[in-house]
A and B are shown apart, each in its own frame.
Chain A
Amino acid sequence: MIRYWEKRFKSGILTENIELDKEFNAIKKELKKSIKKNFAGSLAIRMVDSGSCNACEAECNALSNPYYDLERLGISFVASPRHADIMLLSGVMTFNMYHHAWDCYEQMPNPKWVIALGDCAKNLSVFEKTYAIKGVDLPIDYTIKGCPPSPKDIILGLLEFLRSKE
């Protein structure tokens, strides 16, 4: 245990992009005024994979590593759509996931938004339409571009989305 604490102190704080904190605090102030009722100062995200290659999910998982530590901004991934403000949708929307994704969307309380993660949802990325791909017809409010978007792209994308909601 002593070794652990020694290592812990030596490595210090790894979290980067501290400058985002300031920006986010500024947005948060405005947010509080405009949609305080809806967000209560924090964003709850439900991640739904509708047929991606798993790279987008890996990058979302990376958001909670010490380098990015997304939760410090008040943005958290929740386990149920009923707790969520935003659906983060990755993938091409396959035939077999179509009804489940819509189910998930309908379970979310109003007001709700859908953010597309990666290029797949918008234009299938490098893939092509086949019989097994239905395509996304959920009402997408914002797209975070990239294949896959890096964790920093995702954070910036979320901030940009929040700004557009002011």
Chain B
Amino acid sequence: MRLVARFAKDLIDSFEVIDIYDNDIKRYTLSKDNPTLETLTIKYPAALWMEKKINDEFGIIFKNSFDTRNTIKHEYFPKNIYPMRKSFSKKEIEFCDFKEYKYEEIEGDSLFVVPVGPIHAGIIEPGHFQFSQAGEEILHLEVRHFYKYRAIEKMCEGKKPLDILQIISRVSGNESIAYQVAYRDILAQSSGIEIPKSLKQKYAILLELERIIHHLTDLGFIPNDAGFGSALAFMSAASEEARRAMKKLTNHRFGFDTIKSELDLDYNILNEYLKKLKDDLIFFRDWIEDIPSVWDRFDTTGVLSKKNAIKYGAVGLVARASGVKIDCRDNDFYKSFGYEMQVGKKGDVGERFTLRIKEIFNSIEMIERMQTDSSESIELKDFKDGEYHSFIESSIGELFIYLSIKNGVVDRLYIRDPSHINWQLFHTTIYKDIIADFPLINKSFDLSYAGNDL
């Protein structure tokens, strides 16, 4: 069994903790006086951040957990409030006194610590990395996040389901389409309608295009971090072209706010673009294959073992590169359009790099076969109360969204971004690599900070 998510809900007179597994759902009701529950972290280490988040937001205590430090409550965040409880309605809180956060550090003769972040040297999102070093070698890395914690889940509570579409679009810019499609699926379930196949195909095209953009960006940045700059110049041009194609299709470079009752896609533009992309990609693949200095950095760097990938319940391309067969697209709908799961073996940077190229080729093929002329429409309205969830394979991995509607408004929204799982296993890949390889490994994962922090 793979743990997908563990999250809590405030039922006014009690708390409910819900565990989502890949083939099971477990529910626990906890009294408000003394909310405690046994931890899952011993069996599922990736439950750690989920439990810490629940602890910070609801005040539920997990017994026998190996780490009880705060996660969303940083140094200046008041520790005695539980903001996700229904009784908490403040929009403004005051800073508390500075309380030091104890990092995981390895101490010893000639060992030292390198703190990195939260504001980084490049143009990336904020997050903190604490390295324990023995010279060049990394002994341990602690990843600390939630600098971008915006409380999106709380923000959406009490709003009508259709009113939060714009927020859902902007949870994580790189996965916007995936978020929107996942949320649309939930709304369709709630209004009891079946999404017409042609519309499904059209949104799947956008989803694949988003994946292509994400992969292309990485294909440039990964070699760049290995000191091969011309690959970045080449691939950043290609990803710019992909963004422009997205702009022509959806009128937005990231595809924000594209959930509509109907969708018209201009296939001529798309096909013209895909033709060029295919040529570029074949050239790129052959070109980069012949650069030994790049592969010298790629191979055996940042290895995620299959054992760890399964233990942590890794998702997305990262898991597939380590030989774990997991993909939400592994179903009849996608297979009828030529979907083939791309699975690697070695789990290193090089494997993730080649897998990205292979996935783009597969996405191109699917987009070509998904194009349809029929236009059907849906109307999302009359949402029935209840609990709904959906899974979507975003460009990073399996995205899970849970929505509970009560009295016509959002009662609880829970989002489990693929990055939330993959960040937690990140430190296992980096042991005994040199610190200069960190950016390379980080880019080969390419996880979202905004989606993780919410």
Contact = CB atoms under 8 A, between A and B. Distances in A.
A27 B332 CA distance: 59
Contacts of B92: 129, 131
A158 interface: no
Interface in A62-100: 62, 64-67, 77, 79-80, 91-92, 94-100
A77 B119 CA distance: 14
A98 B92 CA distance: 14
A101 B76 CA distance: 14
A97 B233 contact: no
Interface in B158-195: 166-167, 169-174, 176
B353 interface: no
A7 interface: yes
B83 A62 contact: no
Given A49-B148, A61-B123, A96 B77 contact: yes
B210 to A, nearest CB: 12
A26 interface: no
A51 B118 contact: no
A52 B256 CA distance: 14
Q: What class of interface size applies to chain A in its complex with B?
A: 35 or more
Contact of A55 (B75, B88, B121, B254): B254
B243 A128 contact: no
A50 B453 CA distance: 12
A48 interface: yes
Contacts of B256: 55, 147
Given A99-B76, A129-B91, A130-B154, A80 B287 contact: no
B93 interface: yes
B contact patch SS: loop
A127 B123 contact: no
Contact of A97 (B147, B176, B239): B147
A65 B253 contact: no
A14 B237 contact: yes
Nearest to B83: A131
Among B95, B217, B236, the most chain A Cβ lie within 10 Å of the Cβ of B236
Contacts of A58: 173-174, 217, 254
Interface in A129-166: 129-133, 147-148, 150
B109 interface: no
B90 to A, nearest CB: 6
A64 B123 CA distance: 11
B123 A47 contact: yes
Given A131-B91, A133-B151, A66 B237 contact: yes
A52 B280 CA distance: 32
A123 interface: no
Nearest to A61: B123
Contacts of B174: 54-55, 58
Interface string B65-109: 000000010111100010100001011110100000000000000
Given A66-B233, A129-B91, A48 B119 contact: yes
A92 B454 CA distance: 12
A15 B287 CA distance: 23
Contact of B151 (A1, A77, A130, A150): A130
B240 interface: yes
A55 B169 CA distance: 11
Contacts of A100: 118-119, 126, 147
B150 A79 contact: no
Contacts of A50: 126
A80 B119 CA distance: 9
Nearest to A150: B253
A130 B83 CA distance: 10
A51 B170 contact: no
A125 interface: yes
Given A3-B287, A54-B448, A54-B449, A148 B151 contact: no
Contact of A131 (B74, B151, B152, B286): B151
A58 B448 CA distance: 12
B382 interface: no
A128 B236 CA distance: 33
User: Top 8 closest A-B pairs, CB basis?
Assistant: A55-B173, A65-B236, A79-B121, A132-B151, A130-B151, A126-B166, A53-B173, A54-B173
Interface of A: 1, 3-4, 7, 14, 47-62, 64-67, 77, 79-80, 91-92, 94-101, 104, 125-133, 147-148, 150
30 contacts: A3-B287, A49-B148, A51-B147, A51-B148, A52-B450, A53-B173, A53-B450, A55-B170, A55-B256, A57-B173, A58-B173, A61-B123, A61-B217, A61-B236, A64-B236, A66-B237, A92-B150, A95-B76, A96-B146, A97-B126, A97-B147, A98-B95, A99-B75, A99-B76, A101-B119, A125-B170, A131-B90, A131-B91, A132-B154, A133-B151
